[in-house]
Chain A
Amino acid sequence: DGGITQSPKYLFRKEGQNVTLSCEQNLNHDAMYWYRQDPGQGLRLIYYSQIVNDFQKGDIAEGYSVSREKKESFPLTVTSAQKNPTAFYLCASTRRGTGSTDTQYFGPGTRLTVL
């Protein structure tokens, strides 16, 4: 079955540590996205990538970094510079990027808690 996997489901981190969230898709989609969701709130875009080796900042990129070395993988690093990292993180993908209105598909999410 094709889909998006995120690991781990739950992640705990001590203050001052960097942590990397995994996102893998086997849908052969070009574009991938990272969102942050806080309790009772909508989704806020962190970073997105339309193609391998290219990515753009979203609305709340400060304190986060990404890479897109392979089409199927788009890991997100939450750095110690992110002031309030405890949240639910969602990865998504679309078949095509700019210029399309393709459906966005989501992974199951990773809940990050900073202790």
Chain B
Amino acid sequence: GDSVTQMEGPVTLSEEAFLTINCTYTATGYPSLFWYVQYPGEGLQLLLKATKADDKGSNKGFEATYRKETTSFHLEKGSVQVSDSAVYFCALTENTGNQFYFGTGTSLTVIP
């Protein structure tokens, strides 16, 4: 069945450091891939998405590229800020199904 595996946390970085959060997936068909962000006590917000192989999703300085050959969708940001501290979830959905599959989340803390 479909599944998402993402990097274990927590991750702690200094401000302006480079961020990578790894995400790999298993899917039976051609999924769409997503990154969501959750701030403390809030719901999930869509950060970026990609719907087909080699697509790059980007938003607020974050980027992720849909790599079919490695079944990956790693999240990157060149220079993190304290305000990026949150939990990040990788997710997928397929047009052959009716559910979303989420990773377990990666907690990021950015220190000044």
Chain A positions within 8 Å of B, measured between CB atoms, are 4, 6, 31, 33, 40-43, 45, 48, 50, 58, 90, 92, 97-109, 111
6 smallest CB-CB distances across A and B, nearest first, come from A101-B32, A106-B43, A42-B104, A98-B98, A106-B44, A108-B43
B89 within 8 A of A: yes
Contact yes or no, A42 B99, CB < 8 A: no
Pick from B43, B91, B104: contact of A41, CB below 8 A: B104
A-B interface contact total, Cβ < 8 Å = 58
Contact yes or no, A31 B98, CB < 8 A: yes
- Note all chain B residues with C-beta closer than 8 A to A43: 44, 89, 102
Question: How far apart sit A106 and B39, CA to CA, in the bound complex (Å)?
Answer: 13
Pick from A99, A104, A109: contact of B100, CB below 8 A: A104
